[in-house]
Each structure stands twice: as C-alpha cells, then as structure tokens.
Amino acid sequence: MAAIKRRSSILILLGICFIILLSSGGFFTIYLTHTIGPDAEMINQLGIIRGSIQRFVKFELGGHPDNALIDEIDLKINALNSKKMKIHDRHQEIQCYIGDLKQSCLLLKEAAYEYRKDPSLHNRDLLLEKSEVAWQEANSMVLMSQTLSEKKVGRYRISFIFLGVNLSLGFLMIFLIKRYVKDTLEYLVNYDGLTKLYNRRFFNESLHGEILRAERYERGLSVIMFDIDHFKRVNDTYGHDAGDSVLKELSQLIQKNIRKTDILARLGGEEFAVIVPETWAEGALLLAEKLRDAVARYSFKHAGKITISLGITELAEGDTADVIYKRADMALYEAKSKGRNRSEVKYKKQSMEI
C-alpha cells in the first residue's frame, strides 16, 4: 500500500511537470509564431522603402520629380517607427536604425529640393550621395531584420525540444499510470482492506503454488489456521470499532513473529491462516505455540488480554489445497472444542494434542 501511495505522489508530481512543460512549450511556440508575422511585414516594408529610394532618385535625375513617392517613403518610415516597440523583441539597434533612416530620408528630400532649384553637377552628386546613404541604411535594416528573424525561426528547435521532453514524459506517465492501475487492482484483489494482510483469494492461490513447489522439491509444507477466542464478546463489550482495532493489532503482532517467507492471510472475520513453506508439522507447531504465547502476553489497546486457538496440519501425499485447508480447519475446531487458547495438530491419519 505504501508503494502505491508513493507511486501516486510521483504521478501527481510528473503530471504537474508535464502541464508546466506543455504550457511553457505551447506559449513559447505561440510567441514565436506571433512575432514572426510582424517581422516579415517589417522586412517587406523596408524592401519597399529601399526600392522607393532608388525610384525617387531615378525620377529626380530624369527630370520627373515625384513628391508622392517621397511622401510615401515618409509614411512608411513613420509607420515603422510607431511599431518599432512591438517588433524584434524591442531590439535597440533596430530602433536606432529606424531613426537614422528617417534622418537620411529627410536629408535626401532636402538634397532633391536643392537639385530641383539648381540641377548643377554639385547638387546632382549631393543627391546621389544622400540617396546612397539612405539606400544603405534601408538595406542594412533589411539584412539585420532578416538575421533577427532567422534567429527566431532557429528558436523553433527549442519548441521541438519541449515537444520531445513532453512526449517522453507523457510516455513515462502512461507507463506509470498503467503500473499504478495494475498495482492498485492487484492490491484490491489480493489484500484485506482492514488489516492490510493478504485475503482468502491470495491465500488459496499461494497455497496451491506452494503445494506444487513442495512436491517438486520434496520439501515440507504446513498450514496454521487460527482465530480469536470469544471475539464476539469483544465486539459486544467494546464495540465493533474496538473489534476492528484488535484485528489490526493482532495482524501486526503475528506478522512480526513469523518469517518473511511465511504467508499470513485473513480468511474472514476473526479467522487467519499462515502458510509455512519448507516446514513440517513439528516445526509449524513450535511456531504456533510462539504465536499463541505472544498473543497471550500482549495487551490490546481496547480489549486488554485475548487468546487465540490454532490448528496445524502438514502436506501429505495426494493432498490438494482444499484438503489441507479442511484438515487445518478441523484441527482448529478441535483446539476450540478442547478449551481454546491451545494448538492442535491434525495429520492425515492421526492428531497430536499439545
């Protein structure tokens, strides 16, 4: 039961980690996807500005000035300037370049006006110089924006890392959940809910398996069956809660006084049984007396002193699990009928009284 509780706690922690990682990966991917759109729009607008600068200078030198084109460039730069806090993760260098580009376009416009007044060679060279500076500013921003966007796209690898971790964690959780459900079902099927001992179903299966093992290796096998003397009196005097407490205390006391290889089970009510592998009736009788003495000496929390009666038998040739069980039960009945608080051995053809 403790292992099941620990596994339950682990599943809860893994579930919390899974939710956190899944949420983090999802928000990160949404963030990247959300910011790549504005980045692409900025690169497109900068490309238009760069091309417009070339067309503007071409028209000016060709004697066909286009004020609408330079106004369009101003509008696009102002639009970028208003959005610069929302793009490229507030990259300071990008913000500086937008200001520089705006200033270069302003100087280009002034040079164009001067050229219109006086289309001299000096003003022509000045117009070309200013246009080259503005074009270089726009081109640098395009390249820088592309670089930053490529880095963002590269961050998608982190999303795949999140995905890989989430998938691994998910598979681990599925495995642990299956184990948890399996162990929980096995516990519910094989254990007694009150005493946490094995139940009658598990006892029957274990007895059948131990018989096969004892016959294969020609080893001894014994069964001790016992119950609490006058248990009804305990319930009637102290109440059923006190009776349940006695059953729990008795289970713990017996468990401490048997071997790890012995199998202790609650068969129902106040009746218990112990499968004692690799032990003949004589050895099982010694163990039964040890258990009887331990119970007699123990003071139970709600009932004080109680006693138990025990019936012992051993595996004989041709025995089945049902036969052994019935013979142990007969030995227990004899112990009860002969005064209680005693152990009685029942062989296949004879019995021995203690």
Per annotation, catalytic residue among 60, 137, 210, 270: 270
* 159-161-162-164 Cα dihedral, nearest 10 degrees: 120
129 is catalytic: no
The rounded radius of gyration (Å) of the Cα atoms in the chain is 45
- Both tokens assigned to 233: 């009196």
State the Cα–Cα distance between residues 119 and 63, nearest whole angstrom: 9
50 and 216 Cβ atoms separated by less than 8 Å: no
Spatial neighbors of 35 by CB under 8 A, at least 6 apart, are 87, 89, 152
State the Cα–Cα distance between residues 314 and 220, nearest whole angstrom: 7
State the Cα–Cα distance between residues 174 and 166, nearest whole angstrom: 12
CB-count exposure of residue 2 (10 Å: 0-12, 13-18, 19+): exposed
CA 137 to chain centre: 53
138 and 49 Cβ atoms separated by less than 8 Å: yes
State the Cα–Cα distance between residues 229 and 246, nearest whole angstrom: 12
Report the catalytic residues. Answer: 270
